[in-house]
Structure 1
Amino acid sequence: MYRRIHEAIIQSPPIDDFDVFKESKEQNFFESQESLIALCTHLQELKTTIEDLDENQLKDEFFKLLQISLWGNKCDLSLSGGETSSQRTNIINSVEELKPFILVNDMEHLWSLLNNCKKTREKASVTRVDVVLDNSGFELVTDLVLADFLLCSQLATEIHFYGKTIPWFVSDTTVHDFNWLIEQMKGSNHKWMSKCGADWENSIKMGRWVYHDHIFWTLPHEFCVMSQVAPDLYAELQKAHLIFFKGDLNYRKLTGDRKWACTIPFRQALRGFHPAPLCSVRTLKAEVQVGLQPGQAEQLAASEPNWMTTGKYGIFQFDGPL
């Protein structure tokens, strides 16, 4: 459907580069201002003290920003039928109360991997984290805040982002959305939002942030065939030390969107897709989930029959060396 919409637009000059979802995505950003200000303020205050944090404090902040990025994934315009899905409350204050809704929590593995990279990294070497993006607007800001933290904490030295080549699933990020959002942040009247925008623009200029798009992300293939269908993209992902896959659609393509038993191991469901250590960061909005404990799905279904599709629950599901 989204490909057909795009096809109709590109055959209709002079609107051949028009994004029919642009207004909805921008509305999501503007309606989330209060939450964005709180998030940017937290980040900038954190950056002023980050060198004084001990390892446990740094780990706590890493976990907090990971969870903010997870719950930012609730802001999905494709799920809401294009209706507003902005974030109107301070999500930082909700992190602790939302923890029980994380069904698979592999954050410890993520910390161990990146912290070990940091400890063993020589000055000339690189720790690269890749982020396969999902929604623009508020969720994208949570991803960029996490990316900024990874650099300033030295848990990573380079962040690579992947977005869609054409407007996709209403609110998915394109290069225009990515650049537009940073410009909006930079031009904000709020000093900390403006500082974030300026810092992020500088990260791009310095080559510490790199944006990619690739047609594969808008093709119907599941990811296990990427090495055959898009070997250039697979080779690029292999350069990462860790890949974050944001959102529900990426999870469906990671697992082939099959009706797996909920207890099937994540690695088995990936069916050979292992370019690098990877983690799905997703709130559940589709009827596919693997890697749960025996009885976990049944217990959820008994109390909430639609637990798989409401966006209430989330996961950090890791595949890589443990």
Structure 2
Amino acid sequence: MPKELQNCILFDRATPLSFPRCFAYFTMKNRIPQILTKVINALNQHKNEFFEKHGEAGTEAENKAVSLISKIRNELQADEPLLPLTDNWVDTDIWNKYLEYQHSLLNENNKKISWFHSPWLYVECYMYRRVHEALMLSSPISDFDVFKESKDQNFLESQEAIMSLCNYLEELNRRIKNLDEHQLKDEFFKLLQISLWGNKCDLSLSGGQSSSQMSSPLTALEDLKPFILVNNMDNLWSVLINRKKMSQEKFPSIRVDFVLDNAGFELVTDLVMADFLLTSKLATEIHFHGKSIPWYVSDTNKNDINWVLEELKAANTKCMFECGVNWELYFKKHTWIYQDHMFWTLPHEYCTMAQVAPDLYAELQKSNLILFKGDLNYRKLVADRKWEFTVPFHQALNGFHPAPLCSIRTVKAEVQVGLAPGQGEQVTVSDPNWMTTGKYGIFQFDGSV
């Protein structure tokens, strides 16, 4: 393993009672078993479908998958040792080598290598990877997305909010040529905030329970502004508007990358934001980075995007229909490009990307601005450590600087950096649970390259 990677991982052990371990125990005893139970229920509910499609082989595969998922749940609840993966997925060897390395680190300190006695970020990712393994070992239903219905439900229950957002975009596109720079900036900020608060719709946080957006997100933006703890939207505007002004003279394109989080309503807010960037000429190409396997209940993969586009095209309202048609065309013309990479579903912190996935790091270096959506991306950006609130974001990135980047996140995990002196303590006094509710948000920018 490269020395740089070892140093990055070892630094994660700086405080023995840091947040990842303390929070892991509570979460695994509660939320994670709920998610595994829902996975089992999803398989049971499709038993007849598997039989109709695959005959007895489908029934046997469903039984096997349920048995393997139940085994994971039992191992977790009994705090048993973590086991190597046994499937033949593209990342299996990487996961198993990483498990060996975790063993070597923890054994040095006489720690038990088990669900409750390993770093939280690693074990949580491991659980979702084990779910994927259970499906991989259960052919011919290996491609079944156990989280699909939850993601679809989030979209369907958010129809009113999606319709209002699509309608707003349609009206904005009609008048965008008449907006001066100040007005364009205001619209940019408005859609950024909608993308931020769309991140509240996180099904892994709710244990798979409904977390849909029931009302228009446009009406609440002013009321929500006080809950933005770090607001670097001006930095994002400066990057793009300056590039736009220069592009006419020196640069042929402006590239923005979205590292996606949740499907459903949040995905629609990201697509609306991307549409605006194109129409306003603040970007000329958009790259979306999603997951290659079902992940963290509601994370976006390629099938989720295709399903949303089909649902929008089938809608009875003109604005939703036109969004579906236009967005599908953007993908066909490669103005919008979807990409996935196995690194996004590894347990590694992003400071290791240049060593573990140099091809992905090189791809991100082509971007003019990378927008990292959501809580898991933030945890991996700053390595899920128990940082002091005032540690600079740049420092917490630990050398991860492929391009100017911004974390757009509602706060749902007990890790946060880059706050003003006393700010975190002040919020804690007024709201002791502020780090786990999704009530607060950040736009946290780093322009280093």
Q: TM-score range by the shorter chain?
A: over 0.9
Structure 1 segment 1-322 matched on structure 2, within 5 A: 1-122=127-248, 125-320=252-447
**CA positional deviation for 1:122:** 2.5
**DSSP 3-state at the match of 1:154:** coil
Uncovered stretches (5+) of structure 2, i.e. residues with no partner: 1-126
* Equivalent residue letter for 2:165: L
Residues 34-68 of structure 1: CA deviation (Å, up to 9, x unaligned): 00000000000000000000111100000000000
Q: Give me the whole-angstrom Cα distance separating, in 1, the residues matched to 2:215 and 2:334.
A: 33
Work out which structure has the larger RCO, using CA pairs closer than 8 Å and 6 or more positions apart in sequence.
Answer: 1
**CA positional deviation for 1:131:** 0.3
Q: Give me the whole-angstrom Cα distance separating, in 1, the residues matched to 2:421 and 2:142.
A: 51
Q: Give me the whole-angstrom Cα distance separating, in 1, the residues matched to 2:309 and 2:286.
A: 15
Residues 169-206 of structure 1: CA deviation (Å, up to 9, x unaligned): 00000111111111111121111001001010111111
The range that moved more, 68-77 or 5-14, is 5-14
**CA positional deviation for 1:321:** 5.5
**DSSP 3-state at the match of 1:245:** strand
**DSSP 3-state at the match of 1:112:** helix
Count matched residues.
322
Match of 2:95 in 1: none
Q: Give me the whole-angstrom Cα distance separating, in 2, the residues matched to 1:292 and 1:149.
A: 30
**CA positional deviation for 1:13:** 2.1
Q: Give me the whole-angstrom Cα distance separating, in 2, the residues matched to 1:37 and 1:319.
A: 34
* Equivalent residue letter for 2:216: N
* Equivalent residue letter for 2:194: I
Q: Give me the whole-angstrom Cα distance separating, in 1, the residues matched to 2:133 and 2:203.
A: 21
**DSSP 3-state at the match of 2:338:** strand
**CA positional deviation for 1:14:** 2.2
**DSSP 3-state at the match of 2:196:** helix
The range that moved more, 130-139 or 120-129, is 120-129
* Equivalent residue letter for 1:184: E
Q: Give me the whole-angstrom Cα distance separating, in 1, the residues matched to 2:411 and 2:296.
A: 16
Residues 71-93 of structure 1: CA deviation (Å, up to 9, x unaligned): 00000000111110000011010
Q: Give me the whole-angstrom Cα distance separating, in 1, the residues matched to 2:356 and 2:310.
A: 34
The range that moved more, 8-17 or 58-67, is 8-17
* Equivalent residue letter for 2:162: L
* Percent identity of equivalent pairs: 68
Structure 1 runs (4+) deviating above 2 angstroms are none
The alignment's C-alpha RMSD in Å is 1.1
Match of 2:53 in 1: none
Residues 296-319 of structure 1: CA deviation (Å, up to 9, x unaligned): 011011111111111000000000
* Equivalent residue letter for 1:79: L
**DSSP 3-state at the match of 1:159:** strand
Q: Give me the whole-angstrom Cα distance separating, in 2, the residues matched to 1:240 and 1:230.
A: 16
The range that moved more, 144-153 or 118-127, is 118-127
* Equivalent residue letter for 1:45: E
Q: Give me the whole-angstrom Cα distance separating, in 2, the residues matched to 1:191 and 1:13.
A: 41
Q: Give me the whole-angstrom Cα distance separating, in 1, the residues matched to 2:239 and 2:364.
A: 17
**DSSP 3-state at the match of 1:126:** coil
* Equivalent residue letter for 2:348: H
* Equivalent residue letter for 2:159: Q
Superposition TM-score, scaled by structure 2 size: 0.71
Q: Give me the whole-angstrom Cα distance separating, in 1, the residues matched to 2:428 and 2:157.
A: 34
Match of 2:67 in 1: none
Q: Give me the whole-angstrom Cα distance separating, in 2, the residues matched to 1:321 and 1:260.
A: 20
* Equivalent residue letter for 1:274: H
Q: Give me the whole-angstrom Cα distance separating, in 2, the residues matched to 1:290 and 1:259.
A: 9
Higher helix share: 2
